[in-house]
């Protein structure tokens, strides 16, 4: 049962904490300035945190007066600010140890404060009440610390998972990029064995060019490594779609020549603001697939890249008159390891893992765009690329 002196001590200490909350918050800031490896202005960089860090102490003071069964964790607004602090420290590359030390400093500051205030009360202080106040204050700080650390670790876990996903994606990209020139070399090797002597010099020259291009893959993989590390879109720049389409066509020229495919690049293709590496990867995969699955039974085989600007909706089409996509495969074509014509590999001299179109979809998603397909078997396929309207605006 509490006594008047007990209640008076609790209320006095809580009132003093309320009165001095700003001073104590400043003392915490001074201690943190020595601990954290960031500029002093970045310890609590936003107005919201600068306003609410002292509020944490005001809420601790209110908690001291609250009924014993009430928990500070029920105060969702204050717990949200504690979580915000955890996210801030993660972004500042702090360690969990540093976060724990921050709250240990706050506990030390509060314990020293209550010790001074209890001593100032002298004989009017109720010792049991003082111990209870310190215990409840420590409990409140512990709950705030738990929320901050939970937010920190949750963001850390999400980042690790995202990085693992990026590593998996990069592994797939490496495999795909290496297989692309190797596929050309395999076709040329078979043709050399079957060719007439007069054709040999031309095929050998083509073979040599593709061997040299293997060295270029290393540079492309380096760009892809930077691409997969992108958290948002730091590589956005103005991309000339006509120029990049022509460049991709030049890279695929030998493969296209072997299969008798002609590239048709629409010179009206405009520029857009996007990640140039992703745009190139999208076009490379779509145009390479169109060449690979061209229809040997057709005389005029083509791959066309053109602009469609109807009804105020600007899209880029990569279309061909190749084998097309069977109806049963269309719904799955953008999934990993799905291949529409795997059964024709030997006949077409084509190999793959079924990753190209899943990479296209991932790249378009990362740029805020989309890819769809229109196709009829034996009639060809058209892949329709859509970017956000803002991407088309002048830089």
Q: What is the pLDDT of residues 57-98, one digit of tens each?
A: 888 888 888 777 777 777 777 788 888 888 888 887 777 777
Q: Is 93 exposed, middle or buried (0-12, 13-18, 19+ CB in 10 A)?
A: exposed
- Within a domain: 169: no
Q: Please indicate, yes or no, whether residues 382 and 252 belong to a single structural domain of this protein.
A: yes
Number of domains in the chain: 2
Give the model's confidence band at 48: pLDDT under 50 very low, under 70 low, under 90 confident, else very high: very low
In a domain, 182, yes or no: no
Q: Which of 30-39, 120-129, 249-258, 382-391 has the highest mean pLDDT?
A: 382-391
Cα 135 to Cα 73: distance, rounded to the nearest angstrom: 16
Look at residues 97, 125, 159 and tell me which one is the last residue of a structural domain: 159
Task: Give percent above pLDDT 70 in the chain.
Answer: 73
Q: For residues 249 and 383, state if they share a domain.
A: yes
Helix 276-292 / helix 200-228 crossing angle, nearest 10 deg: 140
Residue 220 in domain:
no
Mean pLDDT for the chain?
Answer: 78
Strands across the sheet containing 313-320: 261-265, 301-310, 313-320, 380-386, 370-376
pLDDT digits (tens, 9 = 90+) for 112-154: 998 999 999 888 888 888 888 888 888 888 888 888 889 888 8
Q: What is the pLDDT of residue 225?
A: 57
Give the 3-state DSSP-derived string for 99-157, with helices as H, strands as E and coil as C. Answer: HHHHHHHHHHHHHHHHHHHHHHHHHHCCHHHHHHHHHHHHHHHHHHHHHHHHHHHHHHH
Q: What is the mean pLDDT of residues 192-221?
A: 67
Is the distance from CB of 323 to CB of 249 less than 8 angstroms?
no
* 244 and 378 within one domain: yes
- 161-170 CB contacts, 8 Å cutoff, 24+ apart: 166/228, 166/229, 167/228, 169/228, 169/359, 169/362, 170/224, 170/225, 170/228
If you average pLDDT over residues 283-289, what whole number do you get?
A: 90
pLDDT tens digits, 315-357: 999 999 988 888 777 777 877 655 554 445 445 554 545 567 8
Residues 253 and 346 both lie in one domain: yes
> Does the model's pTM come out above 0.85?
no
- State the residue range of the domain holding 123: 4-159
Confidence of residue 246 (pLDDT cuts 50, 70, 90): very high
**Domain stop point among 144, 159, 174:** 159
Give the end of a domain, one of 108, 135, 159.
159
CATH number of the domain enclosing 265: 3.30.565.10
132 falls within a domain: yes
Are 314 and 308 in contact by the 8 Å Cβ rule? The answer is yes
The residue to which tokens 């850390």 are assigned: 156
Residue 168 lies in a domain: no
**pLDDT of res. 385:** 96
Can you give the CATH number for the domain in which 98 is found?
A: 1.10.490.10
Query: In sequence order, what are the residues at sequence separation of 6 or more whose Cβ sits closer than 8 angstroms to the Cβ of residue 244?
Result: 276, 279, 280, 283
**C-alpha distance from residue 94 to each of 25, 133, 346 (Å):** 20, 31, 55
How confident is the model at residue 169, as a pLDDT?
Answer: 66
Q: Return d(Cα 302, Cα 320) in angstroms, integer.
A: 6
């Amino acid at each position: 049962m509490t006594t008047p002196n007990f209640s008076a001590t609790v209320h006095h200490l809580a009132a003093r904490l309320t009165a001095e909350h700003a001073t104590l918050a400043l003392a915490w800031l001074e201690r943190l300035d020595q601990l954290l490896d960031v500029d002093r202005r970045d310890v609590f960089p936003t107005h919201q945190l600068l306003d609410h860090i002292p509020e944490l102490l005001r809420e601790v003071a209110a908690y001291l007066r609250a009924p014993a069964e009430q928990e500070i964790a029920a105060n969702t607004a204050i717990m949200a600010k504690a979580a915000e602090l955890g996210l801030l420290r993660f972004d500042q590359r702090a360690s969990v140890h540093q976060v724990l030390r921050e709250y240990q400093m706050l506990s030390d500051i509060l314990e020293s404060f209550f010790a001074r205030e209890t001593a100032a009360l002298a004989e009017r202080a109720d010792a049991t009440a003082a111990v209870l106040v310190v215990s409840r204050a420590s409990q409140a700080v512990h709950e705030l610390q738990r929320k901050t650390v939970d937010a920190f670790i949750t963001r850390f876990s999400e980042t690790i998972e995202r990085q693992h996903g990026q590593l998996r994606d990069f592994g797939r990209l490496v495999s795909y990029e290496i297989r692309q020139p190797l596929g050309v070399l395999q076709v040329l090797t078979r043709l050399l064995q079957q060719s007439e002597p007069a054709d040999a010099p031309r095929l050998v020259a083509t073979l040599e060019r593709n061997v040299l291009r293997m060295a270029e893959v290393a540079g492309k993989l380096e760009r892809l490594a930077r691409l997969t590390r992108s958290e948002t879109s730091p590589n956005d720049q103005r991309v000339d779609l006509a120029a990049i389409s022509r460049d991709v066509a030049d890279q695929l020229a030998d493969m296209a020549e072997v299969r008798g495919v002609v590239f048709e690049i629409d010179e009206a293709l405009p520029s857009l603001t996007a990640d140039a590496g992703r745009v190139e990867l999208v076009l490379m995969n779509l145009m390479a697939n169109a060449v690979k699955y061209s229809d040997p039974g057709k005389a005029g085989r083509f791959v066309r890249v053109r602009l469609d600007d109807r009804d105020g909706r600007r899209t880029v089409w990569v279309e061909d008159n190749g084998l097309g996509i069977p109806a049963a495969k269309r719904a799955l074509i953008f999934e990993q390891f799905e291949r529409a014509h795997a059964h024709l590999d030997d006949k077409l001299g084509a190999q793959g893992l079924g990753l190209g179109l899943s990479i296209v979809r991932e790249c378009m998603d990362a740029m805020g765009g989309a890819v769809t397909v229109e196709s009829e078997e034996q009639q060809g396929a058209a892949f329709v690329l859509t970017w956000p309207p803002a991407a088309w605006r002048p830089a």
